[in-house]
Structure 1
């Protein structure tokens, strides 16, 4: 925040501090008086930057208020008063529905976020919140739009503290106010929604979490400055950065972030529905990429409601094996542990009990580390004694194990820890009671005495019911032999990707990079478009299932769309993350690594495309391997 304020000219600083679980993690501690309820880094940034904000007249909009936006706003107002600064502070209220959702078993469970799709199967224990009385609701927050933010800016607010507004809502609110849009200027609002989506994840658009990172000097990839969105009156935007410090903005970093955590070809917000099919990007100069082609439509009548509840206890045990007969060693250990649990009468008491094999030992290993992999035993249960029974087997079978058995010296993860599980729901926007609250110090001598003026806000004027999400294979797909000779190579040799989570679902977008790796110069137009025709013809839903191999389950459901303007194929895989967030048993519970895993899978790639990217012969690649 300090860098963005000091290192160049900006009109607004926006901040998204919330993952799905942030508010829930601190809700109990806040209620017990052991946590302020807001994000400490939001206060830290404002405290460091407050004098510059006042001097440059930069407005700030953040959702770092988390569970307690009022508390953070009052603390900021006290700082403003103490410094004698001419800044108005406000906070958003109305997202916190904990009082309404506490007695959910009596009032009924709101519909699940994916309830409109009959082909989606909920993960096991998804409905435990309703079925089991020992799982109390800890937090319940709806995702608000930008209406309260706009009202606050219209009433002179300089710093607006929100709780669970959607990630992009601060940017939408800033652009909406700046350009004096109406709440039915849907194309413009949709453009601002995507601008906000592009910069909401700190450095993700300036080189962090970038699939093509290995083509850059590694020292350019850390200590980077975050992105800036220049939102124009028609809603189109240019993504850029201050012309100082490290980081970079290219068509490919923008494509990566655009594809992150999408729901398909429609991106939803409480104020607008963004239709993404026509998206296009173009480099306009160093660290300047224009994005356009987004269309808007009225928002849905519902918004997302994130409910977290105390689901029980988690624990995990990790044991290692080295070299010869590793698979048989893990077979033996799993059988022994299940025998011990059966004898204790605990085997059927777990909500989740998985024996996950992580890694494969290297053939003809060059070191013991390269020969070692591990077994991760992951357990969830309602009763901590069930998990403790599992942990007790470490002692009982301490001298009964496979040859070469070893593990980490620290078994604290085997001790059961309480965990929260996530239930994503739908909530009617018409039932929300929201407001923007303007603060003012009553007296300079007593800065803690505050006056609050609450201004109610109203729902959007129009809604449009959600339709079934689009899903389709390529129209007019070409024969895969159309491009001549092929060689077996990794998909990632010519394709970049970005993946992420949407609750229990994962999204993955694959795209043809704009630039060649060797000199990072634009590829020839023919290579570019022909590679795209090959990618969309090859990467079908059946092909995705094949690439997922042993990780595919028939309980999953897949949707597929294409974004021709950025040469991307996009998938949503429903159910692959289980209950998602903190309740998921997956090692990669947020699907961050799923795209790179699938890029490492081998497919038949036309030789001309490999040669066009300088990969026609074997050469060194990251990790010391070799590729075509």
Structure 2
């Protein structure tokens, strides 16, 4: 925050501090009086930056209020008063529905509150997705937060607020609110609002658009990727954007970094917010100059009458055991280890007592290794159960065979991961916006005791959601027309990014030229993605596929791999961020004529 204020001219600083899981974890700690509810680093940024924010008259809009936006707003009010600055503080609330947990449970049971993926009958959910409904005392809801939009933010800015602390507004809502206030957009200026939504999406993830989490990073010197500066988006009156950064700060902003971030955590061609529906099928991305990328072509439509609702509950307990094998006959070693543990649990009649018991083989030893570490791989035994004593028996089953281990078994002497710890389950839902009490509360009097509250109500216009697009390419061309091929990693021709969408993983991949696109769109079918996933594909998964032609991109959503979502996923890559790099590493027949262009 301080660097964004100091190193150049900006009108508004926005900040996205929230992930779905950190709200839930903070809720548990807050209930024990062990956490303030707001995000400590948000306070830290304000503490460092208030003087320069006051001097430059910069507006600040952040969702770092988390579960307690009023608490952080009051702390900010006190700091401003103590430093004798001229800044007005407000906070946005109405997202926290935990006081209505019992009603939410009833409405999930009776179908009034539906699962986020319920509209598609072909999508199957993890078998434990609704287990908390059957055990409400054992698996109580710990947090329930609806995703709010920009309207309360804009109202606060119109009323003179300089710093607005939000709870669970959507990641891009601070940017939409700032742009709508600056340009005085009406609620039905959907094209402009949609453009701002995409602008917010491009800068919401810290340095993801200035060089972080970037598939093409290997083309740059390591020094260019250290201490990355955060991005800036310039939004014009039509909602079109230029993505850039402060010249004095490190990092890279290119068409490729922007495309990668654009494709991150999408649900397809329609990007949803509680205020607008953005259609990105015609989006265009073009470099204007060094570290300046122009983004146009987003179309906007009225929002749905619903918004996302993230429900977290106590799922039970989980633990993991990490073991190493060295070199020779590794697969047989892991076969033996898994058989030993499963056999003992079976003797004790406990196998069916686990919700999850997974033996994950991580890595492949280097052939003809040049060090012991290069010959080392590990096994991750991951388990979940509602009964903590069941998990304790997992460690006992392993220890029973502790001195009957395979040749060369080793592990860290720190075995704390074996100890069961509680985990949170996630239920992604949708809720009617008319049920929310979204409001901005403004401290505009001589004290913080009685803020002025202004409710904004639901959107004035909404449209029901249509089914998500899902199609193969129109008029595919013959793959053979591109000449000789060679088996190479897909990443030799395509950049990509992936991420989590509840229980699902999204991935967007793109190429660089029109001719490559003709091959790529015809090659990258739904069955091809299934094949690329190899042993990770499960028959109950479902794939959606769309194209974004002007940026030469194919986008997929794979429904199911993350189970109940990040907080309870058994996957090592629980956030789905590594999925794209896995797919890019798989060898496919690439036309040699394209490889010569790399």
Q: TM-score range by the shorter chain?
A: over 0.9
Aligned residue for 2:115, secondary structure, equals: coil
Are 1:220 and 2:205 matched, yes or no? no
CA-CA distance at 1:34 after TM superposition: 1.5
Is contact 1:440-1:450 (8 Å) kept? no
Q: Distance in 2 between matches of 1:354 and 1:407?
A: 18
Q: Is this contact kept in 2: 1:321–1:374, CA < 8 A?
A: yes
CA deviation digits over 1:299-332, x for unaligned, max 9? 0011000000000001000111112221111111
Contact 1:62 1:160 in 2 (8 A): yes
Q: How many angstroms apart in 2 are the aligned matches of 1:35 and 1:235?
A: 38
Query: Alpha-carbon deviations, 1:419-475, whole Å to 9, x = none?
Result: 1011000100011112100014636xxxxx533111111111111111110011111
Show structure 1 runs of 4+ deviating over 6 A: none
- Report the counterpart of residue 119 of structure 1 in structure 2: 122
TM-score, normalised by the number of residues in structure 1: 0.93
State the partner residue of 1:450. 449
Partner of residue 385, structure 1: 389
Report how far residue 105 of structure 1 moved: 4.5
Contact 1:344–1:389 (CA<8 Å) still a contact in 2? no
C-alpha distance in 1, partners of 2:262/2:22? Answer: 23
Partner of 2:524: 539
Tell me what 2:315 maps to. Answer: 311
Q: Is this contact kept in 2: 1:77–1:441, CA < 8 A?
A: no
* TM-score, normalised by the number of residues in structure 2: 0.98
Equivalent pair of 1:145/1:270 in contact (CA under 8 Å): yes
Indicate conservation of the 8 Å contact 1:104/1:130, yes or no.
Answer: no
Whether contact under 8 Å (2:340, 2:398) holds in the other structure is no
- Tell me the secondary structure at the aligned position of residue 595 of structure 1: helix
User: In the alignment, which residue of structure 2 is the partner of 1:287?
Assistant: 291
Find 1:276's aligned residue among 280, 283, 288: 280
Deviation at 1:495, TM superposition (A): 0.9
Summarize the Cα distance change of 1:102–1:412 in structure 2 as closer, same or farther, 3 Å threshold: farther
Q: Secondary structure at the match of 2:25?
A: helix
Q: In the alignment, which residue of structure 2 is the partner of 1:551?
A: 536
Task: Give the conservation status (yes or no) of the 8 Å contact 2:363–2:377.
Answer: yes
What aligned pairs does 1:417-432 form with structure 2 within 5 A after superposition? 417-432=421-436
Figure out how many residues of one structure are paired with residues of the other and give that number: 594
Report the 3-state secondary structure (helix = DSSP H, G, I; strand = E; otherwise coil) of the residue aligned with 1:569: strand
User: SS at 2:461's partner residue?
Assistant: coil
> How far does residue 31 in structure 1 lie from its aligned partner after superposition?
2.2
Tell me the equivalent position of 1:230: 234
Q: Is the 8 A contact 1:494 1:610 kept in 2?
A: yes
Give the corresponding residue for 2:466. Answer: 467
Displacement of 1:77: 0.3
Distance of 1:470 and 1:108 partners within structure 2:
26
Other structure's SS at 1:205 match? coil
Q: Counterparts in 2 of 1:77-92, with a 5 A limit?
A: 77-92=77-92
In structure 1, C-alpha distance between the alignment counterparts of 2:34 and 2:328, rounded to whole Å: 51
Contact 1:188 1:234 in 2 (8 A): yes
Indicate if the aligned counterparts of 2:108 and 2:114 stay in contact, CA closer than 8 A: no
Q: CA deviation at 1:107?
A: 5.0
Report if the CA contact (8 A) 1:440-1:451 is conserved.
Answer: no
* Residue of structure 2 equivalent to 1:239: 243
Give ranges in structure 2 of 5+ residues lacking alignment. none
Q: What does residue 24 of structure 2 align with?
A: 24
Please tell me whether residue 406 in structure 1 is matched to residue 405 in structure 2. no
Could you say what secondary structure the match of 2:316 adopts? Answer: strand
| Unpaired runs of at least 5, structure 1 | 444-448, 514-527, 614-628
Report SS of the residue matched to 1:21. helix
Q: Would you say 1:433 and 2:446 are equivalent positions?
A: no
